[in-house]
Amino acid sequence: MSRPLLEVRDVRVSFDIRRPSDLPWTPPAQLHAVNGVSFTLARGQTLGIVGESGCGKSTLARALIRMLPATGQVLWEDGTDLLTLGPRQMLRYRSEIQMIFQDPLASLNPRMTVGEIIAEPLRTHRPKMGAKERRAKVREVMERVGLLPNQINRYPHEFSGGQCQRIGIARALVVEPKLLICDEPVSALDVSIQAQVIGLLEELRRDLGLTIIFIAHDLSVVKHLSDEVMVLYLGRMMEKASSDALFADPRHPYTQALLSAVPVPDPKVERGKKIISLAGDLPSPMNPPSGCVFRTRCPLAQPVCETQPPEELRGDHRTSCHFAGMPVPAE
Ligand SMILES: Nc1ncnc2c1ncn2[C@@H]1O[C@H](COP(=O)(O)OP(=O)(O)O)[C@@H](O)[C@H]1O
Ligand SMILES: [Mg+2]
């Protein structure tokens, strides 16, 4: 059997936090933003990663491409652990893994034209490519993402949010990556524009065989795009399953709560739907609850949840919960 494109094993990312009141000789406190996340991703698949703001989605994405230091293993399909590579060796893999970001305009250099922005990764990763070939390549990806050739000399501020995101996608695609990491690419866009950008990503995946990690804070956005969905909470995996299984049979109370917040198009179903509201606020990752990190907001929590972290149930449908599969009672 061939290797998956990406195999992530027990990845952890911590930040040192110094508060103004800390004395200079005390060690900094640790914030565990990503706390032991593992998954595999086969070629051509799309993995959706979902969770509330602050649960570690962006930190995980940045760790995978070495924008942040992490521990664990990030194995590429050739067996290389990306976390062990030096900057020069990593450069090669950085053209195979490209990323697009949430705020399309802010992630584009305002002083560069669209053509220059899209050509920039080619200058880094294909330094021997001639100017003519580079221009042809830029035009080709512009067309691919639905930008017009005559827009090549315009500046980012002349474009709408949706078009800026297309520019970001073109810049990512120009080096022909195998993996595209999309960090909340549509969260800042209007709903109608969201659908267009998601449609474009689906098209690219189909036509180019791209493998995609698609990050979102709500489940409805990832539903149609993802083959598999992973739900994170306070830097930990709560549940991971095929998209169909997760939506049809959510086993973790957190997933059930997230799903209950997704609007259903049919008004009859919507009216009869069970709403699960979670108690309290997201705890600080500086000071996570003992045992199961979700227990302070969990409608099913029992004393065991306070004392023991749940073991992860492995297999196709993974869950970290002492009471996985138990339905949360309606309010
Ligand atoms: N550079 C940083 N320094 C300190 N803490 C950070 C830094 N980046 C992120 N964090 C913290 O890590 C946690 C996860 O953040 P993030 O990955 O941005 O979450 P998400 O993308 O899911 O909203 C948050 O508590 C956030 O405050
Ligand atoms: Mg984020």
Cα→Cα distances 150→80, 144, 147, 155, Å: 41, 14, 9, 12
pLDDT, position 8: 98
Which atom of ligand 1 is closest in space to residue 184's alpha carbon? Answer: 21
Which atom of ligand 1 is closest in space to residue 183's alpha carbon? Answer: 21
111 vs 19, residue with greater confidence: 111
30 lines ligand 1 (CB under 6 A): no
53 lines ligand 1 (CB under 6 A): yes
pLDDT, position 114: 97
Amino acid symbol at 207: D
33 lines ligand 1 (CB under 6 A): yes
User: Exposure pattern of 230-253 as b/e (b: 16+ CB <10 Å)?
Assistant: bbbbbbbbbbbbebebbbeebbbb
All domains of the chain in start order, with CATH = 6-19+28-96+177-320 (3.40.50.300)
Which atom of ligand 1 is closest in space to residue 17's alpha carbon? Answer: 4
CA atoms of 83 and 73, how far apart (whole Å) = 6
Q: What are the tens digits of pLDDT across the range 145-204?
A: 999 999 999 999 999 999 999 999 999 999 999 999 999 999 989 888 999 999 999 999
CA atoms of 325 and 331, how far apart (whole Å) = 18
Longest dimension (CA), the chain: 68
Cβ partners under 8 Å of residue 265, min gap 6: none
15 lines ligand 1 (CB under 6 A): yes
Q: Quote the mean pLDDT of the chain.
A: 93
User: Any idea how long the chain is?
Assistant: 331
Choose one of 14, 18, 30, 31 to mutate for the ligand 1 pocket test, by most ligand atoms within 8 angstroms of C-beta: 31
CA atoms of 235 and 59, how far apart (whole Å) = 9
Which atom of ligand 1 is closest in space to residue 15's alpha carbon? Answer: 4
Which atom of ligand 1 is closest in space to residue 55's alpha carbon? Answer: 22
User: Tokens 């078009």 appear where?
Assistant: 163
Q: Assess contact for 312 and 252: CB atoms under 8 A.
A: no
End-to-end CA distance of the chain: 48
Neighbours of ion ligand 2 (CB under 5 A): 57-58
Torsion of CA 203, 208, 211, 213, to 10 degrees: -40
Q: What are the tens digits of pLDDT across the range 48-101?
A: 999 999 999 999 999 999 999 999 999 999 999 999 999 999 999 999 999 999
269 vs 288, residue with greater confidence: 288
Ligand 1 centroid – CA 3 distance (Å): 31
Task: Provide the pLDDT confidence category of residue 215 given band limits of 50, 70 and 90.
Answer: very high
Ligand 1 centroid – CA 57 distance (Å): 8
Ligand 1 centroid – CA 56 distance (Å): 6
Task: Provide the pLDDT confidence category of residue 30 given band limits of 50, 70 and 90.
Answer: very high
pLDDT, position 2: 78
pLDDT, position 242: 97
Ligand 2 centroid – CA 212 distance (Å): 16
Task: Provide the pLDDT confidence category of residue 25 given band limits of 50, 70 and 90.
Answer: confident
Task: Provide the pLDDT confidence category of residue 218 given band limits of 50, 70 and 90.
Answer: confident
Give the chain's radius of gyration (CA, Å).
21
pLDDT higher than threshold 90 for residue 279: no
Nearest CA to ligand 1 atom 5: 15
Beta strands, E only, the chain: 6-17, 29-41, 46-50, 71-76, 97-100, 179-183, 211-216, 228-233, 236-242, 312-313, 318-320
Ligand 1 centroid – CA 54 distance (Å): 6
pLDDT, position 1: 63
pLDDT higher than threshold 70 for residue 13: yes
Ligand 1 centroid – CA 59 distance (Å): 6
pLDDT higher than threshold 80 for residue 27: yes
Q: Assess contact for 226 and 48: CB atoms under 8 A.
A: yes
When pLDDT is averaged across residues 259-264 and rounded to a whole number, the result is 82
Burial environment of residue 305 by CB neighbours within 10 A (0 to 12, 13 to 18, 19 or more): buried
Nearest CA to ligand 1 atom 24: 54
Which atom of ligand 1 is closest in space to residue 217's alpha carbon? Answer: 22
pLDDT, position 266: 73
Which atom of ligand 1 is closest in space to residue 56's alpha carbon? Answer: 17
pLDDT, position 331: 67
pLDDT higher than threshold 90 for residue 23: no
Nearest CA to ligand 1 atom 16: 56
pLDDT, position 26: 86
58 lines ligand 1 (CB under 6 A): yes
CB neighbours of residue 254 within 10 Å:
27
Q: What percent of the chain has pLDDT over 90?
A: 79
